[in-house]
Structure 1
Amino acid sequence: MTAAPIFYSIRPSHPEAHLFEVRCTLAAADPTGQRFALPAWTPGSYLIRDFARHIVSIRAEAAGQRIALDKIDKHTWRAAPVDEAAPLTVICEVYAWDLSVRGAHLDQTHAFFNGSSVFLCPLGHEQRPCLLDIQPPVGTRYRDWRVATAMAPAHGERGCAEDHGFGLHGASCYDELIDHPVEMGVLTLASFTACSVLHEVAISGHHDCDLTRLTADLTRICEWQIRLFGEPAPMPHYVFLITAVGDGYGGLEHRASTALLCARDDLPYPGMTGTPERYRTLLGLCSHEYFHSWNVKRIKPAAFTACNLAVENYTTLLWAFEGFTSYYDDLALLRCGVIPVEDWLALVAATIDKVDRDPGRHRQTLAESSFDAWTKFYRPDENTPNAVVSYYAKGSLVALALDLTLRAATRNHCSLDAVMRTLWQRHGEYDQHRSVGVGDDDIRLLAEELSGLDLDRFFANAIDGTAELPLALLLKPFGIRLQRAEGSGTPTLGVTTKATGDELRLSTVYHGGPAQTSGLSAGDLLVAIDGLRVMPATVDRLLSRRKAGEVASVLAFRGDVLMEFSVQLGSPTLGKHQLLLDKKSNVLRKDWLQA
């Protein structure tokens, strides 16, 4: 006997107050008292967010009668026992004013929600199928609103998929229900086909996007990624949900869609020539989230194969699932012809600069960074550059180093491409195939198996150590030279600063640098150097008249206390990294970059 589905409904009840009404109805509740819980975090964003704090009111009903509902912890409620024949419904109001890809946002212009932030889970019934009735807000001003989601229309429900109408949608279980974000509003819609799979783009917000250009570039990116892993694609339908705002950036992957936040100026505009930096950044974000359709959504760390959404789920492998994805997101743009090789080399050089400027790379390993994401990476503070290394940025450089190592040693017979395809074949979840998650040593063991190399030292240094990656040496056989441009020649304080009007405040004081050695701290307000007032426009000019090793007198306010520091100025900052192509033909490079 098939279990009755759990019935949900969601309605923007008060868009002006940013309130959704969300209902969850269970036909056969636990006779001892049914418990309902809201997730504390959302897959893909590794931070406890306590979504239950946005529930404004909550109540339970059965057979038209109010049922007692007790809160038993920060995100769990228990209903009083009810007659088994009476369906139990929990109704809650959810405040939605989080303009991000992680939570929910609602006003008179649009509605967006990520399922984990709004849908209660009836504990013990997680595997039951779910029906969701997506309802429009009341009023004529909303008559042109439509719905965009990858969630399939419920069986027999006509129109809601084809014309993006409201109505019933279906999911096989709670995990799938919360893995299909939903956008409502006056949407700009476009579609394209990549490797026989229908893809859609839904944009909300003011914009002047050239949809023809955007869909043409996305087609090339998606087709390249599908073919990298092998057809057919793991999803029958995919949706890019884009919210365009004045200034914003973010993305979150899902099994058949991605939620994206971008500045409207990042979108291509009619008559645009080339691939400007802002648009290139947006395409890289789209490519990144799409690659996650394989790498993390279906090829998973062992710790994520059965996520507990109430607590942290620790893994040491985010360097592979985010870092490798960060390597391939821009590489895909190059290989599918969206950007030229010079642009790609500049992107890699910028990543090298990003990793190189923060001392945290000497103090935290990539395995530690992955494990500590819940408490460090997603909770940055003024000391983060000194203590943390990014598993995105350095992880992408490790992917580059591993790819080069495999290719050079095997004359391109083995590569990171082969590792990713084999991970998909052995660990991917597709059709009815449900394999085990990826263990801590599986990527190393697989790379060794495919290449015949001993990679123990490589992984010990790159993942479990803090040694610098020998990128210059690894790039040389591919006819690419890594060098640094000349710096400014201005001695440094060893800080980063934030300007507010004419005031300049220290935001980060680098570990072991001149400012920290002298006693300056993050948050200090710079007042003067050698008796001359410091302003954002003058600080570099003041320092440029001095030489490294000289001692400068620095006045700064810490709170309301004026303090004086003697700072021995540091060596000038080195210039940015550059990757330069050897003009000679190089077979290794050609096979790598044109794969």
Structure 2
Amino acid sequence: MSRLAASACFAALLLAAGPALAQTATPTTPNIGGFPDSPPIPAPTNPTYPGVIRYEVDATDYDRHIVSVRQVIPVSGSRITLLYPKYLPGNHAVSGPIQLLGGLTVVANGQEIDWRRDSVDPYAFHIDIPAGASELEVSFQWLTQSDNANWRVVMTPRMMNLQFEKALLYPAGYASTGITFAPSVRLPDGWNYGVSLRTTSFEDGLATFEPVDLYTLADSPMFAGLHYRQVEIDPEGDDVYLNIVADEAANLAATPEQIGYYENLITQADRLFGSRHFDRYDFLLGLTNQMGGIGLEHHRSSENTHAPNFFTSWNSHAGRRALLPHEYVHSWNGKFMRPADELTANYNVPTENSLMWVYEGQTEYWGDVLSARTGLHTKAQALILIADRAAFYQNQPGRRWRNLQDVNNHNLLGYRVPGQWTSWMRGTGDYYDEAALIWLDVDTLIRERSGDRRSLDDFARTFFSPEGSDGDWTPRGYTFDDVVAALNAVEPYDWATFLRDRLDADGPDAQAPLDGLERGGYRLVYVEEPNADEKAVYSNWGSDFRYSLGFSLSGANNRITAIRWGGPLFEAGIGAGWDLLAVGDRAGSAEALREAVTAAKGGTDPIRLTLRNGQRVRTVELAYHDGLRYPRLERIEGTRDRIGDILTARRR
């Protein structure tokens, strides 16, 4: 399907989607502040905005971290309302950084005219159009940040991550697929870029692109930089690219073997899903410790960062290699097929997150599986990652009061707001990681019930690639009932009850969803000393006491972090903000603490810790005698290694 045909089809889908996707226009607000009332904000009921919006971005001011934007918007009538995107795709929350929009200026007929922010919704700007004006020139700056304190750094002297949805305004009243932009971006001298937009020219640092609808523009970020490398990684053609920008040119040196793993990823994804729902896909990868970290999905690309030496110190980063597979899977799950309550008409219609355990959870599962099937992870490394995930949820107390279904709302409560008691409050990681354990449970149960003739692979092929959909990239919505029906088509079972039991479980008897481990041929055990593979995957293992004393150590000051609610240190009355000064009569360190825990095993003497929080110093005694505990999956002899089967590369 062509780009324009897909856009028209998607627009019709959105506008006919029914009450779940409706946006009610805002009412006129009473005149309390002494200025004119705010008019209603038009709901997105119109399919097509007349004309093309010229959209010009200047991204050269990296020393001041300022992106300058000029938009020329064709207009008619007497009034227009412009919106700044509020609900950003992939964030599942109100996360549009409108606080970083500055210098908004509107010009018509050569004269600057007034704009007025809506008194109820600060993401909307009302403009009265002067008589005779046929276009508005709108200018502003995206004031990106110089550190990661509040928003991630997106501009450095050597690279940038241009996210168009954070640097534009668009007309209210229209579907995102019905508003056409003609974009161009000016880059610093000598820079190159990766983006899934189609370039029409790139001369003297000015990149000009084919006109696209707002939906496609917002879904097509750019990574640009001084040190840039593009590698074609599609074994079947020339449709998938790895675009790398790096702090230093030497960090671009991915080896042929490493590139081969990503070629395997494309092959294994093709064999898993059986079709593609994009015309081109661009992995955007920043190798940096200067720009902020990200892993964000798009339909035809993804935004990713790794450490500067990700390729040149390959063995040090095994635990992070599943990022690109995860984001690639999102092209099928989350973009082509997505929860119906995420199919909103534009970026200012509220999103709902009821199916994040599918959107993110099954994507997390397939990202890990594909990492093993491609060679990015060895089988041993994949088992280590599963063991760590299983141990975390086996020891998580938050399930007592909050079930996984409610955690799906977490971003709506405040976009990834950090907390001190994550083991009790729970958070976004749960609908990734706990949900991934549920999908392991589903996969192994299908295999067991079918005599290992069918698996979750069959679900993936039929659900994410419906018959006749190869090459179609018009998004489609799914519901809980759709998921259940697709599972039943693979293996008849009471999947609705199975899933609801795990999603809705809370209270003192609620358990982590770990049945897939033993059904897969393994049991979760704890050992006192990690092996070499485990130490390589988790380089911070020596500071991890989560499953013994109930906390971890971080930084040069031995800051106590990740305190487990109900763990030994918690029960001693210690919360966030404390540093470890001493272990018994020794200076505080991870090594001293490990030795103390080992010495106390099987005894009766407590482990004595001296702690400091500001000017306050406390000594606590922990009556813990079970030794160090690190998770491991242990093979159950005489059983089928179904997890091994899952992790094995597909031959077709």
- Please tell me the TM-score bracket, short chain as reference: 0.7 to 0.9
Mapping of 1:323-402 within 5 angstroms? 323-375=361-413, 378-388=416-426, 390-402=430-442
Amino acid corresponding to residue 159 of structure 2 in structure 1: H
Per-residue displacement from partner, 1:125-150 (whole Å, max 9, x unpaired)?
4443433332324xxxx432223210
**TM-score, normalization by structure 1:** 0.85
Aligned to 2:157: 108
Matched-pair contact (CA < 8 Å) for 2:519–2:642: no
Matched-pair contact (CA < 8 Å) for 2:579–2:613: yes
Aligned to 1:134: 184
Aligned to 1:204: 245
CA distance in 2, matches of 1:469, 1:534: 34
Residue 405 of structure 1: how far off its partner (Å): 0.4
Mapping of 1:143-162 within 5 angstroms? 143-153=189-199, 157=200, 159-160=201-202
CA distance in 1, matches of 2:644, 2:280: 35
Amino acid corresponding to residue 97 of structure 1 in structure 2: Q
SS at match of 2:420: coil
CA distance in 2, matches of 1:438, 1:427: 15
Q: 1:335 to 1:506 in 2, by over 3 A?
A: closer
Residue 314 of structure 1: how far off its partner (Å): 2.4
Aligned to 1:244: 287
Residue 372 of structure 1: how far off its partner (Å): 2.0
Q: 1:313 to 1:211 in 2, by over 3 A?
A: same
Mapping of 1:153-552 within 5 angstroms? 153=199, 157=200, 159-160=201-202, 166-186=206-226, 187-205=228-246, 206=248, 207-210=251-254, 212-231=256-275, 233-246=276-289, 249-267=293-311, 276=315, 278=317, 280-306=318-344, 309-310=347-348, 313-375=351-413, 378-388=416-426, 390-425=430-465, 437-466=477-506, 467-469=510-512, 471=514, 474-476=516-518, 480-487=521-528, 494-501=549-556, 503-527=557-581, 534-546=588-600, 550-551=605-606
SS at match of 1:16: coil
Amino acid corresponding to residue 236 of structure 1 in structure 2: D
Q: 1:373 to 1:263 in 2, by over 3 A?
A: same
| Residue 50 of structure 2 corresponds to residue 3 of structure 1 | yes
Residue 294 of structure 1: how far off its partner (Å): 0.4
CA distance in 2, matches of 1:314, 1:593: 36
Aligned to 2:34: none
Residue 17 of structure 1: how far off its partner (Å): 1.0
Aligned to 2:648: 593
SS at match of 1:382: coil
Q: 1:341 to 1:107 in 2, by over 3 A?
A: closer
Per-residue displacement from partner, 1:14-56 (whole Å, max 9, x unpaired)?
2221111112221125x34222222234211234334111122
Q: 1:18 to 1:402 in 2, by over 3 A?
A: same
Per-residue displacement from partner, 1:337-396 (whole Å, max 9, x unpaired)?
554433332332232234334333444322122122333782231101222161111111
Aligned to 2:14: none
CA distance in 1, matches of 2:82, 2:402: 39
Deviates more, 1:584-593 or 1:402-411: 584-593
CA distance in 2, matches of 1:588, 1:533: 44
SS at match of 2:454: coil
Q: 1:215 to 1:136 in 2, by over 3 A?
A: same
Residue 423 of structure 1: how far off its partner (Å): 1.9
Amino acid corresponding to residue 204 of structure 1 in structure 2: V
Q: 1:63 to 1:243 in 2, by over 3 A?
A: same
Per-residue displacement from partner, 1:173-207 (whole Å, max 9, x unpaired)?
21211110012233222223343352222221211
CA distance in 1, matches of 2:529, 2:644: 33
Amino acid corresponding to residue 260 of structure 1 in structure 2: N
CA distance in 2, matches of 1:134, 1:411: 56
Matched-pair contact (CA < 8 Å) for 1:82–1:88: no
Matched-pair contact (CA < 8 Å) for 2:594–2:628: no
Aligned to 1:272: none
Residue 330 of structure 1: how far off its partner (Å): 2.3
CA distance in 2, matches of 1:190, 1:128: 33
CA distance in 2, matches of 1:309, 1:2: 15
Task: Pick from 77, 91, 98 the counterpart of residue 45 of structure 1.
Answer: 91
Residue 460 of structure 1: how far off its partner (Å): 2.9
Q: 1:515 to 1:311 in 2, by over 3 A?
A: farther
CA distance in 1, matches of 2:478, 2:89: 17
Q: 1:565 to 1:144 in 2, by over 3 A?
A: closer
| Residue 173 of structure 2 corresponds to residue 124 of structure 1 | yes
RMSD: 3.5
Matched-pair contact (CA < 8 Å) for 2:240–2:281: yes
SS at match of 1:437: strand
SS at match of 1:538: helix
Deviates more, 1:430-439 or 1:504-513: 430-439
CA distance in 2, matches of 1:95, 1:322: 30
CA distance in 2, matches of 1:539, 1:2: 65
Matched-pair contact (CA < 8 Å) for 2:283–2:304: yes
Amino acid corresponding to residue 237 of structure 2 in structure 1: S
CA distance in 1, matches of 2:333, 2:398: 26
| Residue 119 of structure 2 corresponds to residue 70 of structure 1 | no
Q: 1:218 to 1:500 in 2, by over 3 A?
A: closer
Aligned to 2:25: none
Q: 1:498 to 1:476 in 2, by over 3 A?
A: closer
Deviates more, 1:250-259 or 1:67-76: 67-76
Matched-pair contact (CA < 8 Å) for 2:58–2:67: yes
| Residue 66 of structure 2 corresponds to residue 22 of structure 1 | no
CA distance in 1, matches of 2:640, 2:222: 49
Unaligned runs of 5+ in 1: 270-274
SS at match of 1:42: coil
Q: 1:494 to 1:334 in 2, by over 3 A?
A: closer
SS at match of 1:391: helix
CA distance in 1, matches of 2:635, 2:518: 10
Unaligned runs of 5+ in 2: 1-47, 531-544
CA distance in 1, matches of 2:485, 2:146: 42
CA distance in 2, matches of 1:554, 1:15: 47
Residue 324 of structure 1: how far off its partner (Å): 1.0
Q: 1:63 to 1:276 in 2, by over 3 A?
A: same
Aligned to 2:537: none
**TM-score, normalization by structure 2:** 0.78
Matched-pair contact (CA < 8 Å) for 1:363–1:388: no
